[in-house]
Amino acid sequence: MSKTTAKKVFDVAQARKEFPILERTVNGHPLIYLDSGASAQKPQSVIDCIARYYREQHANIHRGVHHLSQQATQAYEDAREKIRQFINAEHAHEVLFTKGTTDGINLVAAAFGRKFLAAGDQIIISTMEHHSNIVPWQMICEQTGAMLKIIPINKRGELLMDEYESMLNDRTKLIAVAHVSNSLGTINPVEDIIKLAHQRDIPVLLDGAQAVPHKRVDVQALNVDFFAFSGHKLFGPTGVGILYGKQALLNDMPPYQGGGDMIERVTFEKTTYNTLPHKFEAGTPNIVGGIGLGAAVDFVSQYDEQEIVAHEQNILAYATKKLTDIDGVKIVGTAANKASVISFLLDGTHPFDVGTILDQLGIAVRTGHHCTQPLMDFYGIPGTARASFALYNNRADVDALVAGVRRAAAMLL
């Protein structure tokens, strides 16, 4: 169980020492890892936690009376409680373990959609959504006859909130938007989005995959109805994530999948379902993933979140200025309120070619459409190069990126 302790002063040089992968080289150069928006690296404490579980604790959970099963169950449920505290959910049973953000959104689309959507109803998403917050809603719309409505954005990558407000009506059944855009870094005005929706009793789901690594999220303060995020973007393992849902909504939704652990009693005539959270956690879960995510929460929670935010904003400002000083570089996504993500283009080149040259220098960036093809269509481009920063990045990483982009320009133009 997590305990209240004094926060450590954040120091990026010390934090970097927690990540063993940052000591390696790529193509003969020190690794410069600027792809945390896709998946963050893991601190030694998370690696050790995972190894320790497999070495000392592994057994199936919730069903065993023997010592190892009891020990593994306790560690898994302790992790759930750590995460409850981390996002300030009211109840631990409102914290559902999933495979990740995508799985959490699909759970809501299927379970909420089957219960509450009918022909002519509306679901509202935005232009900047990740495919995982588009396709599940398209699928449930095809099944129910509901319609998908899209909040437009401006060229800076900011939602047009007047347009959003005008879209709300009695047929609107759910709002599902990104808290932070993975492609643009835009931090959306989610407090206003939720407030306007709740004035009409419309529930809101936030895709929090890009939010929790960069800012502390308080689901009760936000008054959000559903909040989904992934462990691997929060310095934890892959294949595990969280869906937070308000108790009343989760109780009112049918199960997403059937199987072990989500049942109370099964007969061939009828099955009765388990209570929360187990009702939505069918089958043997990713036990070590959940425990590892708890360790990642411990790692992040040791620091004052405002110090991490200040550090990342400093890196973002420094990188933005340095990149825009390069002739031919254009940043895509210039919202006034951004997380530490920079998507950019180099005139006359393809992002893939820029990324390939950077890789030869040991610099890892993401290239392509970033699973946001409708957003790329809005800008009329096939994709971008994206540098996404985390708490372990420093100004030297930015300087290496800038030098690499300058080299790419010299080679390609």
pLDDT (tens digit, 9 = 90+) per residue, 126-141? Answer: 999 999 999 999 999 9
CATH topology of domain 12-30+304-412: Aspartate Aminotransferase, domain 1 (3.90.1150)
Rounded-to-integer distance, Cα 29 and Cα 403, Å: 13
Domain extents for the chain?
A: 12-30+304-412, 49-301
Tens digits of pLDDT across the chain (413 residues): 444 568 999 999 999 999 999 999 999 999 999 999 999 999 999 999 999 999 999 999 998 899 999 999 999 999 999 999 999 999 999 999 999 999 999 999 999 999 999 999 999 999 999 999 999 999 999 999 999 999 999 999 999 999 999 999 999 999 999 999 999 999 999 999 999 999 999 999 999 999 999 999 999 999 999 999 999 999 999 999 999 999 999 999 999 999 999 999 999 999 999 999 999 999 999 999 999 999 999 999 999 999 999 999 999 999 999 999 999 999 999 999 999 999 999 999 999 999 999 999 999 999 999 999 999 999 999 999 999 999 999 999 999 999 999 999 999 98
Alpha carbon separation from 165 to 151, 175, 194, 199, 283 (Å, rounded): 9, 11, 11, 11, 41
Residues 408, 358 contacting (CB under 8 angstroms): yes
- And the tokens for 110? 């299927």
**Structure pTM?**
0.97
pLDDT at 282 (0 to 100) = 95
pLDDT in tens, 114-123: 999 999 999 9
Residues 330, 314 contacting (CB under 8 angstroms): no
Supply angle C-alpha 406, 325, 352, rounded to 5: 40
**What is the CATH code of the structural domain delimited by 49-301?**
3.40.640.10
Query: Whose CA is closest to 87, among 246, 232, 204?
Result: 246
Percent of the chain as helix, strand, coil, to the nearest 5? 45, 20, 40
- Asked about 371 being catalytic, the answer comes back as yes
Q: Check 371, 381, 403, 412 and give the catalytic one.
A: 371
Supply angle C-alpha 400, 344, 130, rounded to 5: 115
Rounded-to-integer distance, Cα 258 and Cα 272, Å: 11
Query: Whose CA is closest to 154, among 329, 339, 334, 331?
Result: 334
Rounded-to-integer distance, Cα 183 and Cα 224, Å: 23
pLDDT at 1 (0 to 100) = 42
DSSP 279: G
